[in-house]
Amino acid sequence: MEPTVPSSPTVPSVPSVPADPSVRAGQALYTRSFLRAYDTLVYRVNSPLTWRCPKARLVALYDRHVSARHLDIGVATGVLLDECRFPVPMPDLTLMDLNPHSLATASHRLRRYAPRLHRADVLRPWGLPAGLVDSVGMFHLLHCLPGTLQDKAVVFEHARQVLRPGGTLFGATIPGTGVRHNRSARWQLSLANRRGIMCNRRDRLEDLDAALGKVFSDHEVTVVGSVALFSAR
Ligand SMILES: C[S@@+](CC[C@H](N)C(=O)[O-])C[C@H]1O[C@@H](n2cnc3c(N)ncnc32)[C@H](O)[C@@H]1O
């Protein structure tokens, strides 16, 4: 039985999971049992050892850019949002994910902020009001999406629409090329791409840079280990 995902009082939710199997594959891993192991597996093992980008670097990116009206997409357990410092005690927080287990897990963890929940596919129109927020966070989401970074770049256009003028998109992704992958990273990339959990073999660092540059007037991409950290406004 699926957990009950409270629907937002102000934001409409997309009820059905899209038919595209490659999109479904990118979020199918996030079952309740996997989410219980997520923080340990991802942030105690994979991030520091395989991708060589410690959690503290990601939390620092949040601390720099997160605003009082924030939308986070691809939330899993909500660990980064839990650890970051919002500029106000009670931010206006919206969580968006295609997977109801991720939404339920993150919203429970972040219940002190009473977040709104929005179930939607980031590759399709988001169905959120224009100018809703001052910041959008998108961490470790792009490498779960099917296609090349050129195909995935539609999400930057969607982000620009929900951001108020001057607002910031920020996040992290693991490109397949343009960064240095150690042996463990190469093995995990190969396995995860074969299983459809990740789809980033053809994600090129320079395509990320170009795609952000097309949509935003100002952007920055920094590489830490195998991970590209980005921000754009
Ligand atoms: C690797 S987790 C990232 C979690 C968290 N942001 C972090 O950095 O630890 C990816 C999340 O993206 C969600 N996701 C995958 N494909 C999606 C899609 N097409 N639209 C919206 N969310 C998606 C998954 O359900 C999962 O919660």
The total number of structural domains that make up the chain:
1
Strands across the sheet containing 116-119? 116-119, 92-97, 69-73, 133-139, 163-173, 227-232, 219-224
14 within a domain of the structure (yes/no):
no
- Alpha-carbon span 162 to 137, nearest angstrom: 12
Helix (H) and strand (E) counts in the chain? 9, 7
Å from CA of 217 to ligand 1 middle: 26
Task: Report the separation in Å between the CA atom of 136 and the middle of ligand 1, taken as the mean of its atom positions.
Answer: 14
- pTM here? 0.93
Q: How much is the mean pLDDT over the chain? A: 92
Give the domain range for residue 68: 21-232
d(CA 137, CA 173): 11
Would you say residue 6 has pLDDT above 50? no
Q: In this model, does residue 19 exceed pLDDT 70?
A: no
Q: Which residue has the higher pLDDT, 6 or 213?
A: 213
**Ligand 1 contact via 170 beta carbon (within 6 Å):** no
Residue 191 lies in a domain: yes
Query: For residue 5, what pLDDT is reported?
Result: 42
Q: Using CA atoms, how far apart are residues 57 and 151, in angstroms rounded to an integer?
A: 27
Amino acid 60: pLDDT: 98
Question: So what's the pLDDT on residue 18?
Answer: 56
| 8 occurs within a structural domain | no
Does residue 4 fall inside a structural domain?
no
| Length of the chain (residues) | 233
**Amino acid sitting at position 124:** R
Write the CA distances from 36 to 1, 76, 203, integer angstroms: 17, 10, 29
For range 154-167, the mean pLDDT: 98
Instruction: Enter the tokens of residue 228.
Output: 């590209």
Does 23 contact ligand 1 (Cβ within 6 A)? yes
Q: What percent of the chain has pLDDT over 70?
A: 92
For residues 149 and 212, the answer to whether their CB atoms sit within 8 Å is no
> Is 152 close to ligand 1, i.e. is its CB under 6 Å away?
no
Report pLDDT digits (tens) over 33-87. Answer: 999 999 999 999 999 999 999 999 999 999 999 999 999 999 999 999 999 999 9
Q: Find the range with the poorest average confidence among 10-19, 47-56, 153-162.
A: 10-19
Domain CATH for 135 = 3.40.50.150
Is 52 domain-assigned? yes
The pLDDT tens digits for 182-212 are 999 999 999 999 999 999 999 999 999 999 9
